[in-house]
Amino acid sequence: MLTKRVIPCLDVVLGEYGGCVVKGVEFVNLRNAGDPVELAKRYNEQGADELVFLDITASHEGRRTMIEVIERTADEVFIPMTVGGGIKTIDGIRSILRAGADKITVNTTAVKDPSFIKRSSDIFGSQCIVTAIDCRSNTSIEDPHAVNIIKNKDGKPAWYEVVIYGGRTPTGIDAIEWAKKVEELGSGEIMLTSMDTDGTKDGYDIPITRAISRAVNIPIIASGGAGNIGHMYDVFSAGEADAALAASIFHFGEYTIGQAKDYLRSRGIPVRL
C-alpha cells in the first residue's frame, strides 16, 4: 500500500525590502529574519514528506516567483519541493526547476490556457506538473455549468465551481470535470483546495475531495481547513486523499510533523516515519 504524505505549506509573500517572509508564522527568529528557509529546514528535520511553497501574491499582482528562496532552500533541504504562484511560461517553469524545485504547481494559467498543462508535461514530464484546483460549492444546481451534483459539506446538493486569482474569480467550470481534463492533459497530481473550508480550521472539504479522488487516477493533495491532526485522518480515510497539506497547525507549533504521523499511524493510515 502506498504511504500517505504529510506536506507543510509555506505561503510566501514579498517582504518590505524585497526579502521573503512566511505568512502567519510566529517563530520569533523567523519573523525577524523574514526567512522561510529556516522553517523548511525544521520541517525537513521533523520528517515532512515534501514541502510546498506558494508565492501567494504572484498571480494577483503579477510578481515572479522568488527564485532565491528556492535556491537557498534546495541547498539545505533534501525532500521534494513544489513551488507555485505566478507561473505563466515554460521558461518560468524551467527557472524554478533549475533553482532546485522538484515540481511546480499552476492554477490560473492552466484554467485560462489548458494547453499549458500539456506543453509543460510534454517538456518536463507529468511528474513535475501539479495542477492546483481551487473551488467553491455552488448550490445553484440549475446552473447550466453544473455537471456533477454532490452533497456539499453542509449536506446540501451543490456543484463545485473552479475559482481563480486566489479564489476571487468564478469561472463557470465544474471542478470534477476540470480534474478529469487536467489528468488527460498530462498533470501528474492535483492540489485541491476548497475555498469553503480554507482558513476555517474546521476540517477539509471531504465531499469534493472524495469525489475528485474517485474521478481521476492521479494523486490528490487535499488542502484547506486543517485545524487538527484528526482532520488529516478524516481526509485520508473518508476523503480518500493521497496527501494532506497543512499550514497553521504546524507553523504555530500546535503539532510537529512527527506527532501528526504517529497519530495517523496509530489509526491505521500508512505513513513514512
pLDDT at 182 over 50: yes
Whether 25 has a pLDDT exceeding 60, the answer reads no
- Mark whether 75 is an active-site residue: no
- In one letter, which amino acid is 26? E
Supply the pLDDT for residue 27.
Answer: 38
pLDDT tens-digit map of 98-144 = 999 999 999 999 999 999 999 999 999 999 999 999 999 999 999 99
Residue 151 lies in a domain: yes
Domain assignment present for 75: yes
pLDDT score of 32 = 36
pLDDT for 41: 93
Active site residue 134: yes
Count: domains in the chain: 1
pLDDT digits (tens, 9 = 90+) for 206-264: 999 999 999 999 999 999 999 999 999 999 999 999 999 998 898 878 999 999 999 99
pLDDT at residue 30, as a whole number: 40
Contact status, residue 49 vs residue 39, Cβ threshold 8 Å: no
**Residues 6+ positions from 16 with CB-CB distance below 8 Å:** none
- Give me the count of residues in the chain: 273
Q: What is the pLDDT of residues 67-82, one digit of tens each?
A: 888 998 999 999 999 9
273 located within any domain: no
Q: Is residue 271 part of a domain?
A: no
**272 falls within a domain:** no
pTM of the model: 0.92
Q: Can you give the pLDDT at residue 31?
A: 42
Residue 20, pLDDT score: 65
Domain assignment of residue 11, yes or no: yes
> What letters, b where the CB count within 10 A reaches 16 and e where it falls short, cover 34-52?
bbbbbbbebbbebbbbbbb
Is the pLDDT confidence value at 29 over 90? no
Q: Are 196 and 171 contacting, i.e. CB atoms less than 8 angstroms apart?
A: no
- Residue of 11, 35, 196, 205 with catalytic role: 11
Alpha carbon 4 to chain centroid distance? Answer: 15
Higher pLDDT, 167 or 48: 48
What is the pLDDT at residue 166?
A: 80
pLDDT interval class at 12 (50, 70, 90): confident
Cα separations (Å) of 147 from 40, 172, 181, 205? 40, 11, 14, 19
User: Is 62 within the bounds of a domain?
Assistant: yes
What CATH number should be reported for the domain holding residue 223? 3.20.20.70
Q: Print the domain residue range for 166.
A: 5-266
User: Rounded to whole angstroms, how far apart are CA atoms 119 and 177?
Assistant: 20
| pLDDT > 90? residue 17 | no
Among candidate residues 134, 174, 196, 205, the one labeled active-site is: 134
Question: How high is the pLDDT of residue 243?
Answer: 98
Q: Which residues of 192-203 are buried (b: 16+ CB within 10 A; e: fewer)?
A: bbbbbbbebeeb
Given a cut of 70, whether residue 15 has pLDDT beyond it is no
| Residue 35 placed within a domain | yes
